[in-house]
Structure 1
Amino acid sequence: MLFHGLRTHPEHAAFANATFGHGQDFDDTCQMVQTHAGAVIIPVALAVAEEVNATGEQLLRATAAGLEVMLRAAHAVSPDCLRRGHHTPPAAGPFGAAIAAGLLHGQSPTELAQSLAIAGSFSGGLIEYTQSGGSVKRIHTAIPTTAGIRAVALARRGMTGPLTVLDGAKGFVNVFADKGSVERLTDQLGTRYIIEKVGLKAYNCCYFIHAPLEAFQFLMRQKSLTPDDIAEVTVGLSAHGAVHVGTIVHPVDPLGGQFSVQFTLGMAAYGELPGLDSYSDEQLADTRFHAFADRVKVETDPVAEAEYPENWGGVVTLTTTDGHTYRRRVRYATGTPQNPMTGDEVWGKFSRITTDALDGEQAAHIREMVHDLPALDSVRRLSALLVQRALQPSR
Structure 2
Amino acid sequence: MTDTFTRVADFTLNRSADQMPDSAKEAAALMMLDTMGILIASGPMEAGVIARDTAALLYASSDPAYSTRMMFDGRPVSLAGAAYAAATQTDNLDGHDGYNPTKGHIGVVVLPALIALAEHRPDLSGPEALAAVITGYEIAGRAGLSLHASVSDYHTSGAWNALGVVAMAARLRGFTPEQMRQAMGIAEYHGPRSQMMREIANPTMLHDGSGWGALVGISSAILAERGFTGAPAITIEAETAARHWDDLGQFWQVEHQYVKPYPICRWAHAAIDGVRAVMRDNTLSHDQIQAVQINSFHEAACLYAGMPGTTSQAQYSLPFAVAVQALYGRIGVEHISGAGLSDPAVAELMMRIQVAEADRHNARFPEGRWADVSITTTDGRVLKSGDIHARGGPEAPFSRDEVVAKYMEFAAPVIGATRAEAIRNVILGWVAPNSRYSDLSSLVFGP
TM-score by length of 1: 0.87
Partner of 1:142, secondary structure, is: helix
SS of 2:414's equivalent? Answer: coil
Q: What is the SS of the residue equivalent to 2:415?
A: coil
Cα deviation, residue 142, structure 1: 1.4
The offset of 1:106, in angstroms, is 0.3
- Which SS does the other structure have where 1:2 is aligned? coil
Deviation at 1:80, TM superposition (A): 8.4
CA distance in 2, matches of 1:262, 1:371: 36
CA contact (8 A) 1:65 1:96 kept: yes
Distance in 1 (CA, whole Å) between partners of 2:256 and 2:243 is: 15
Q: Greater shift after overlay, 369-378 or 283-292?
A: 369-378
Alignment counterpart, residue 194 of structure 1, candidates 253, 265, 275 = 253
Instruction: Note the alpha carbon deviations across 1:26-72, whole angstroms, 9 max, x for none.
Output: 11111122111001112112211112335133322222111111111
Q: 2:174 aligns with which of 92, 102, 106?
A: 106
**Equivalences for residues 70-85 of structure 1 within 5 A:** 70-78=140-148, 84-85=153-154
> More deviation in 115-124 or 11-20?
11-20
AA partner of residue 296 (structure 2): L
Deviates more, 1:142-151 or 1:187-196: 187-196
Q: C-alpha displacement at 1:182, in angstroms?
A: 2.0
SS at match of 1:315: strand
Matched residue SS, 2:251: coil
Q: How far apart in 2 are the matches of 1:371 and 1:280?
A: 30
Q: 1:234 to 1:54 in 2, by over 3 A?
A: farther
- Contact 1:58 1:104 (C-alpha < 8 Å) held by counterparts: no
Q: Which residue of 2 aligns with 1:136?
A: 206
Taking the aligned partners of 1:305 and 1:240, their CA distance within structure 2 comes to 8
Give the Cα–Cα distance (whole angstroms) in 1 for the partners of residues 150 and 381 of structure 2.
39
**Residues 146 and 236, structure 2, Cα contact 8 Å, conserved in 1:** no
Aligned residues: 374
User: Match of 2:318?
Assistant: 261
- Trace 1:212-227 onto structure 2 (pairs within 5 A): 212-227=271-286
Unaligned runs of 5+ in 1: 174-180
Q: C-alpha displacement at 1:91, in angstroms?
A: 0.9
- TM-score for both structures, normalised by structure 2: 0.77
Give the Å deviation of 1:315.
0.8
Could you tell me how far apart the structure 1 residues matched to 2:401 and 2:185 are? 41
Distance between the aligned counterparts of 1:79 and 1:292, measured in 2?
A: 40
Paired residue for 1:232?
291
Q: Hey, what's the Cα distance between the residues in 1 that align with 2:427 and 2:381?
A: 50
Which residue number in structure 2 is paired with residue 275 of structure 1? 332
Structure 1 residues 67 and 133 mapped into 2: Cα distance closer, same or farther (>3 Å)? same
Q: Deviations over 1:210-267 (max 9, x none)?
A: 1111110121233333434333211111122222x2x432221111111111111122
Secondary structure at the residue paired with 1:52?
coil
| 1:97 partnered with 2:165 | yes
User: Structure 2 vs 1, CA of residues 71 and 164 (structure 1 numbering), >3 Å: closer, same or farther?
Assistant: closer
For the Cα contact (< 8 Å) 1:132–1:248, is it kept in 2? no
Name structure 2 gaps, 5 residues minimum: 1-69
Deviation of residue 284 (structure 1)?
A: 1.7
Aligned to 2:28: none
| Percentage identity across paired residues of the two chains | 25
Deviations along 1:162-199, whole A, 9 cap, x unmatched?
1153267xx8x9xxxxxxx6244213222112222211
CA contact (8 A) 1:131 1:248 kept: no
SS at match of 2:398: coil
In structure 2, distance between residues paired with 1:158 and 1:118? 12
